[in-house]
A and B are shown apart, each in its own frame.
Chain A
Amino acid sequence: MDQIKLNSSYVIENKLKDPYNFEDIIATHNERLEYVKELDMSKVNFIDPYSMLSLLLLGKKYLRDRGEKLILTNIPINIHQYLARMDFLKTGIFTVQDRLNEKLFLKRSNFSARVIEITEIPNKERESIKVISGIIELFRKRASHIMKFWLSDQVVGFFVTVISEICQNIFEHSLGSGYLAMQAYTMDRENMLRLVISDSGIGITRSFENRNDIEYKSEAELLEKALTTPISSKRKFGYGLCQVNTIVEKLNGAIFIRSGSASVTALYHRKKKGGSYMFFKNDLTDFDGVQISISLSG
């Protein structure tokens, strides 16, 4: 820790590949970010949409707590290109030490239409609905690229429902704002589709504080209930997250939900094969808001 204080810089580990990897970053950020002004990205060779949005939330918290932006340094060119392509650098959360030469920016061609760039979801209903409608419009335009390996009217319709339901939860329940990003990519010869929607609001446990009738033994159990039963923190019952879970199951996909200090993962492609498919974690490092990652692979 002395060394970190001295250098005022922290070399972030190459653990930005998926939600499970990123957990190690969250586990160390609390104590380390307190002492640093710079995040050295030199070791990072891949970053997935979930880790990108989570990094954004870390930066947002840093900005809120410290009143100054965290500085990103030594970003490898391919990572820098990707972050620029996903509009990460436009969010204004970080200061980037070395600007990328404009000639190196990735072209926004049809090939790169396999993404939905980072979009902020406001916490006001009217503004939020406009933004969500815009995201859905863009998704429909790019669906033939993003959903190339899963394309059908029904699957596109499913994803419209998923985007709509999760994004609405941000202004309905989180009391904060959030971000969405989506990308189709190939990893280890496997085609992946990842939709990530994360917010920095009050989290699921706090939003259910007034529902004394809903019993749970751990945070993870509450997350599982929110995912698999139509409970709501505001109404007698709700549809959103439960509907999302039903759709992910129909698609044999995976859903990861993290809030507070717990997470639940449902791997529905394993359910069909009769194996364990629901995994719970409690006692994780506390992290504001709700982070949801939905993925299809094949």
Chain B
Amino acid sequence: MVIKIHKTADDLKISTPDLIARANGRMIYERVKKQLHRIDSGETVIIDFDGIKVIDSSFIDEFLVKVIMESTVKDSGFFVKLRNLSQSSELNIDSVFHTYSAYNNNKLVILTEDLCSNNNFFIGHLKNTSRDILHYLRLNRSGSIPDIVEFTGLGEDEIKKTMEELREMRLVRDENGGYYSGV
């Protein structure tokens, strides 16, 4: 499913290209939440920011953080990816995630379709091993625990723990037969 934020904002008569304020974030979240009820299990939701120049921290907190929270609820069954983010929006998201993670002891990371200014296809902070595994799965589409152990040179227990963290954060898919794949 692709959610075009510009169109959603237009439908709600929210002025663009800049999306600011908590109230606007709440309105868009409520609209998007209704659409999320219609998605299939395991589906990837692409949130497309084409035509949006800046999203501020209040908007990010009320919209994006809530969508991510929703996706990480056990058995929610969907994944989220962002598309067409401006550099300013990317920096604001990174800043909000950094603060949120520091105060909640709960990492916030989101995948992107486009390469970000941090040279990754995600926004947020991940340890180097996790970052490398995401790159590996992006290039190789999938991999087993032994494959990833071989790639990283780390122990099986550590990799299992890391993969479980990434799965819980909805950054990788847990396939049947002990395989993981990128989103």
Contacts and interface: CB of A to CB of B under 8 A. Distances in A.
Contacts of B18: 133, 136, 140, 160, 164
B174 interface: no
Given A157-B86, A160-B88, A239 B53 contact: no
B87 interface: yes
A153 interface: yes
DSSP majority for the B interface?
helix
Nearest to B98: A230
Nearest to B61: A239
Interface string A156-178: 01101100110010000000000
B58 A239 contact: yes
Contacts of A236: 103
Interface stretch (B19-27, B30-38, B74-82): B19-27
Interface string A229-249: 010000011011011001000
A154 B56 CA distance: 14
Contacts of B145: none
A230 B99 contact: yes
Give chain A's interface secondary structure class.
helix
Contacts of B92: 161, 243
Contact of A136 (B20, B57, B86, B96): B20
A125 interface: yes
A239 B94 CA distance: 11
B103 A157 contact: no
Contacts of A107: none
B57 A165 contact: yes
A161 B56 contact: yes
Contacts of B108: none
Contacts of B17: 140
B20 A133 contact: yes
B95 interface: yes
Interface in B40-62: 53-54, 56-58, 61
Contacts of A161: 54, 56-57, 88, 92
A129 B103 contact: no
A239 B103 contact: no
Interface string A130-161: 00110011001000000000000110011011
B89 to A, nearest CB: 8
A126 interface: yes
B21 A168 contact: yes
Contacts of B88: 153-154, 157-158, 160-161
Contacts of B23: 125-126, 129
Contacts of A154: 87-88
A137 B56 contact: no
B152 interface: no
Contacts of B118: none
B95 A243 contact: yes
A240 B103 CA distance: 15
A190 to B, nearest CB: 27
A160 B54 contact: yes
Contacts of A133: 15, 18, 20
Contacts of B87: 153-154, 157
Contacts of B96: 239, 243
Contacts of B22: 168
Most buried by B among A157, A158, A236: A157
Given A164-B20, A240-B58, 14 more contacts: A125-B21, A129-B20, A129-B24, A132-B20, A153-B53, A154-B88, A157-B89, A161-B88, A164-B21, A164-B58, A168-B58, A243-B57, A243-B95, A243-B96
15 contacts: A154-B87, A157-B86, A157-B89, A158-B88, A160-B20, A161-B88, A164-B18, A164-B54, A164-B56, A164-B58, A237-B99, A239-B57, A239-B58, A239-B61, A242-B99
The 7 nearest A-B residue pairs measured at CB: A157-B88, A239-B57, A164-B20, A160-B54, A230-B99, A237-B103, A164-B56
